[in-house]
Amino acid sequence: MSGCPFHLQKSLETIEVPAEPASDYAFLAEVYGTDSDEAGLRRAVIEAARERGEPAPLTERELTAAGRIAWRNHARCIGRLYWRTLVVRDRRNLVEPDAIASELAAHLRAAQNGGNIRSILTVFAPAAGKGRKGPRIWNQQLCGYAGYRASDGSVLGDPRNAALTAKALELGWSAPAQRSAFDLLPWILSGPDGRPHLFPLPEDLVQEVVIEHPDHPGFAELGLRWYAVPAIADMRLRIAGTDFGAAPFNGWYMGTEIAARNLADTDRYNLLPEVARCLGLDTRRARTLWQDRALVELNRAVLHSYERDQVKLVDHHTASEEFMHFLQLERKAGREVSARWDWIVPPLSPATTRVFHTPMREFPVSPDFLAAEPNPAL
Ligand code: ARG
């Protein structure tokens, strides 16, 4: 495929039309329909609370709908076809780290579901009002590997988690006696006082997958592994003007996230040279395409290993087709899709996927998942 195929011209045209600026309350019409006054009445109640500086008093039904719509809206996600299946756990009554930690464990267990991963969002209390703090999860994800920075600047493990790892150690985390590149991190949680509390992970909570290659037995000696469930914990969920700063959510992985980025990026695990060596490739010249070949084999290994363990994970070709289907359904529903091309297009063999040839644009949406408020202590 090259250029812009004719059947995509239509999406190009519709994309030029500016979408209505998203109303913070439009989701209420999806909950109550447009025939009754209910949406309007609920909007008035929520707006009044907002004027008093209070969090939006959403019903559980409204929260569930808004959580699903936030996923449907989110410009960086290729997996949105499944937005209606999101399970929303309403834990807005919880602000204290202890209670939150046990709910995080419950979230992860329910999400892992023996490998048949379920998409779940858990919503904890928002800040009680202006100038007040809400609970926060300091980890980037509920599962993550430590990155131990040595005095020479090098990192054992995942450099993405170097700051959190240092914080955990400072708070008294007892890392495994024999540190490895794949040590699961404890949780760091704070409540309304903002102070960090350390929570070691419950034993055997996190499901992991050992990475092997389907036809290179030597690959296993690299000792690679990854966890089953990506559960983002450092974004805030914004609904009707209220920020839920602790609202972890998970889907399932697309193989390239692990194999073409986490394990391959030079500022992450940077494993392509080792993989190439293991495969016996000539790494002296870029023109041998040793990086590209190592990348493909690493991706095959991840796809193979998750399938072997029956842990749900989608390949990028299938995910791309699912996203195209999502676009089609959304167009049929009369909704414009906000999307970031640089996030949607997979990092491996991009031009073989239809999303590469599809024009996209990002515009403000509501509800949405946004970057967390910066955490000055990290
Ligand atoms: N890219 C992130 C990671 O590799 C996960 C982001 C969310 N991904 C998902 N499939 N829901 O850990």
Distance 266 CA to ligand 1 centre (A): 18
pLDDT tens digit sequence for 109-157: 999 999 999 999 999 999 998 889 999 999 999 999 999 999 999 999 9
Indicate which atom in ligand 1 lies nearest the CA of residue 250. 11
Query: What DSSP designation does 34 have?
Result: S
How far is it, in rounded angstroms, from Cα 281 to Cα 259? 18
- Regarding the beta carbon of 212 and ligand 1, being less than 6 Å apart is answered no
Active site members? 77, 80, 252, 257
**Average per-residue pLDDT for the chain:** 95
Mean pLDDT of 323-340: 98
pLDDT tens digit sequence for 43-96: 999 999 999 999 999 999 999 999 999 999 999 999 999 999 999 999 999 999
Mean pLDDT of 318-326: 98
pLDDT tens digit sequence for 232-244: 999 999 999 999 9
- Regarding the beta carbon of 121 and ligand 1, being less than 6 Å apart is answered no
For residues 189 and 124, the answer to whether their CB atoms sit within 8 Å is: no
Distance 302 CA to ligand 1 centre (A): 14
Scan for tokens 């988690």, then name that residue. Answer: 161
Whose CA is closest to 182, among 106, 302, 263?
263
- Regarding the beta carbon of 147 and ligand 1, being less than 6 Å apart is answered no
Q: If pLDDT is split at 50, 70 and 90, which confidence band does 20 have?
A: low
How far is it, in rounded angstroms, from Cα 378 to Cα 369? 21
Beta bridge pairs of residue 8: none
Distance 130 CA to ligand 1 centre (A): 32
Distance 248 CA to ligand 1 centre (A): 12
pLDDT score at 324: 98
pLDDT tens digit sequence for 24-43: 999 999 999 999 999 999 99
Ligand 1, atom 12: nearest CA belongs to which residue? Answer: 230
To test ligand 1's pocket by mutation, which of 232, 234, 342 has the most ligand atoms within 8 angstroms of CB?
232
Asked if the model's pLDDT at residue 1 lies above 80, the reply is: no
Q: If pLDDT is split at 50, 70 and 90, which confidence band does 303 have?
A: very high
Whose CA is closest to 142, among 67, 246, 242?
246
Indicate which atom in ligand 1 lies nearest the CA of residue 262. 4
Q: 27 Cβ partners below 8 Å, 6+ apart? A: 62, 65, 66, 69, 239, 240, 366, 367
Our measurement of the distance from residue 365's CA atom to the centroid of its chain's CA atoms, rounded to an integer in Å, reads 18
- Regarding the beta carbon of 262 and ligand 1, being less than 6 Å apart is answered yes
How far is it, in rounded angstroms, from Cα 331 to Cα 341? 18
- Regarding the beta carbon of 339 and ligand 1, being less than 6 Å apart is answered no
Distance 37 CA to ligand 1 centre (A): 40
pTM: 0.94
